[in-house]
């Protein structure tokens, strides 16, 4: 049971990190946070690979 809790805590932490990464690249943190809840590490890869938003300051 403890391993399952660790998994959810880790997944939730990753989603918050992804939201911060997305915001630093000028993208919607809320949208990427939500996407990260479902896609996890794949969303992290996409955030890192995608260039900064053209609208970013």
Question: Which pLDDT score, from 0 to 100, does residue 2 have?
Answer: 76
Q: Report the predicted TM-score, pTM, of the whole model to 2 decimal places.
A: 0.86
**Is the pLDDT assigned to residue 57 strictly greater than 80?**
no
Task: Please give the Cα distance from 28 to 42 (Å, whole number).
Answer: 17
Question: Which pLDDT score, from 0 to 100, does residue 56 have?
Answer: 63
One-letter-per-residue 3-state SS of 15-51:
HHHHHHHHHHCCCCHHHHHHHHHHHCHHHHHHHHHCC
CA 8 from centre of chain: 14
pLDDT tens figures, 12-51: 999 999 999 999 999 999 999 999 999 999 999 999 999 9
Count other Cβ atoms within 10 Å, centred on residue 23: 15
How far are the Cα atoms of 4, 44, 54 from residue 26, in angstroms, in the given order?
Answer: 33, 15, 8
């Amino acid at each position: 049971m403890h391993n399952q809790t660790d998994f959810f805590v880790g997944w939730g932490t990753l989603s918050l990190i992804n939201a911060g990464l997305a915001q630093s690249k000028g993208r919607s943190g809320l949208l990427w946070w939500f996407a990260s809840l479902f896609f996890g590490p794949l969303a992290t890869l996409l955030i890192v690979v995608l260039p900064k938003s053209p609208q970013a300051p």
